[in-house]
Homo-oligomer: A and B are copies of this chain.
Amino acid sequence: MNETPPSLLGLTTYLMSKTGKAARGRLADRLAERGLRLWHMAVLAALTDFGPHVQRELAERLSIDRSDVVKIVDGLGAAGLVDRARDTADRRRVTVTVTPAGRELLERLKAEALAVQEDILAPLTARERAQLTALLLRVHDGALAGGQARAGR
């Protein structure tokens, strides 16, 4: 009685959605334990990978509303994970930088994400996981470049 309807299981769309939701949910739970949300991690990752950003750039890169960036950076700042600094050249701009604490935390968060991943991808062999990642990566790139059309809403 707890089987999922085959009509849905036949849809790759459905499977992506369902497994993706599960993955996101579990990671979000872990983050919540530290008082963080997924966006916080995304911002830390962006800052670590690409260096300091002006808030506008963060909004652009992550496709979030700029007013929401403010709130996320607020949270990170309060936790000492990023530094905010007014741009001396253009004092309207605020440059956000990861602190060492932020970098360190990101490493831990990545480790947690890997743990969640380990759990979720348990049924697959290492080869298969690599395959899955490769396939999803291509889907991801294609989806971003092509259709676009805001995901949310």
**Which of B20, B106, B119 touches A16 (beta carbons < 8 Å)?**
B20
Q: Please state if B106 and A140 are interface contacts (CB–CB under 8 Å).
A: no
**Which of B29, B128, B140, B150 touches A19 (beta carbons < 8 Å)?**
B140
- Does any Cβ of B come within 8 Å of A33's Cβ? no
**Nearest CB of chain B from residue A61's CB, rounded to whole Å:** 6
Cα A26 to Cα B11 in complex, Å, equals: 14
- Does any Cβ of B come within 8 Å of A80's Cβ? no
Q: Please state if B124 and A8 are interface contacts (CB–CB under 8 Å).
A: no
- The residues of B that contact A149 with a CB separation of less than 8 Å are 26
Q: Please state if A21 and B20 are interface contacts (CB–CB under 8 Å).
A: yes
- Does any Cβ of B come within 8 Å of A9's Cβ? yes
Who on chain B is nearest to A12 by CB?
Answer: B133
For the complex of A and B, list the 9 residue pairs with the smallest distance between their C-beta atoms, beginning with the closest. Answer: A20-B20, A123-B142, A15-B136, A5-B45, A17-B24, A7-B45, A16-B20, A5-B49, A25-B151
Which residue, A19, A23, A122, has most C-beta atoms of chain B within 10 A?
A19
